A and B are shown apart, each in its own frame.
Chain A
Amino acid sequence: MKNLIVFFLFSLSISITVEAQEDRFTTAMTALIEQMTVEDPSAIDWPSITNKLERIGSAEPDQWLPHYYLSYANLQLAMSAMNQGNPQGVEQYVKLSEAHLGKAKELTAMNSELKCMEGYVAQGYIWIDPMNNGPQYAGAAHAAYAAAIAMDEANPRPHMLRGMLTLFTPEFFGGGAEKAKPMLDAASALYEQESATDKGILPAWGQPTNNWMVQKAARDLAASDE
């Protein structure tokens, strides 16, 4: 009987540890996602976030989300390197982003979010050298977004990123605000639905950027009407 009680206590303690560990993962990820989705995007400390994600990834070798978010966060770093006119930095971060996406794909079955990130990485290659990489990677990005939409019609991110690619592509290459607007509007509607559900630590990013792009597209259209 005594032994049984000890055994019971022991197994309880193990299950508590396991639960605590899972809790720890969710808590840590939730905290990081909060840091990634603050109102003012310029206040986000991406290097510290990627460091924390790397630590979580090392402690949770079976979880795909740390690598998925690392892929996303490194693209944000690539974008700021681009804005600073540092093409070598852009290349480093985009390649790192691609490597983490590869790791995430090894850890889970292909899904709409991963497919969508594939397109985003291709878009990152365009930032490295728009003139030379644009034609090749724009096609690859569009194809990935189309596949991501087919996998999950409720996912707003492929619509948003397709809109981003189109909005920032010159008109003579088939881009521009007029073509981007319907994509961004579709994303807006899907973001409304998404914000009504609780995604937990699953991907739910991109609404503020989409709102900003909807406004920019409207301004661009107004300017071209004048």
Chain B
Amino acid sequence: MRNWNKGSMVGAVVATAIVSTVIAVTVTRTAGQSPETRPARTVDDKPNFSGIWQANNEAHWDLEAHAARAGAVMQEGVYPYDFAKVPAAPVLALGAAAGVPGSIGVVEGDGRIPYTPEAAAIKQENGENWIDRDPELKCYLPGIPRAMYMPYPFQIVQSTNKIHMAYAFSSTARTIHLDEVAGPPDYTYMGHSVGRWEGDTLVVDVTDFNGKNWFDRAGNFHSEALRLEERFTPISPDAIQYEVTIEDPNVFTRPWRISMPIYRRLESNMQLLEYRCMEFAEEFLYGHLRKEPLVTRWEGETIIVDITRKIPQGDALYDWYRK
């Protein structure tokens, strides 16, 4: 009996040593998305936003509430009604995969973006000329706030004086400065972000835009006078309420707001992968300038897609890149 007790105690101590070593190693070495190793607050007692996040809505298609529609670009169907439009040629071959899903919208208030009459006309044109004008299709830097709700994950690396956001889309990034720094020497695609904490809300002022970006794939746009105030408020350790007040007196009659949750990617092995679309977009951007056309035709069972490129003359060639 006594021998058994001694044996079991020795066994227990040995087992303890092994287990505690395992625990210690696990705690110090594994850091990632799992709740046990991801504290809800940082050492400086702020909500912990570090990790990989992604919006999960239809804002990247169109910020405003909208019913589903047949395609990002459409043409008149057999009836003259808007709701009877059909997908246009650029998206037809993708069938239902190229439709635009419906959305409850992310614009607060009456849900409409308050354009001036002139700007509203431009927005309309943008939507109709999506193929030629949307900077996303060229893999251009997406700007803020668009990068925050594109259908690609992004990683927040939250330090005490800087909060860095690394976007999978085109490996672009921005640093939110919590300390005092000089602004950029020129207007930018991604803006200049200066942040501060108001309680548990991260408030970020973004300025110095070059006005070359859109908000979504529907042609909603702004000028270089754009100014944003973003607010990041934790809903839970795995969700952030993201709100943006948008001001641009050149384009809108008043400031307006969008609001949406952003969700943590909870996969235990989640990591940001590359989306180096610069290369993917080369045929789109330069295909018309090849010596021999490359992408010209696709033939399926019921659809043949013939692609003819055209070269705008003179300086108009470069408008394709400016728009």
| B partners with A | no
* Interfacial residues, chain B to chain A (CB-CB below 8 A): none
The chain A residues found within 8 Å of chain B, CB to CB, are none
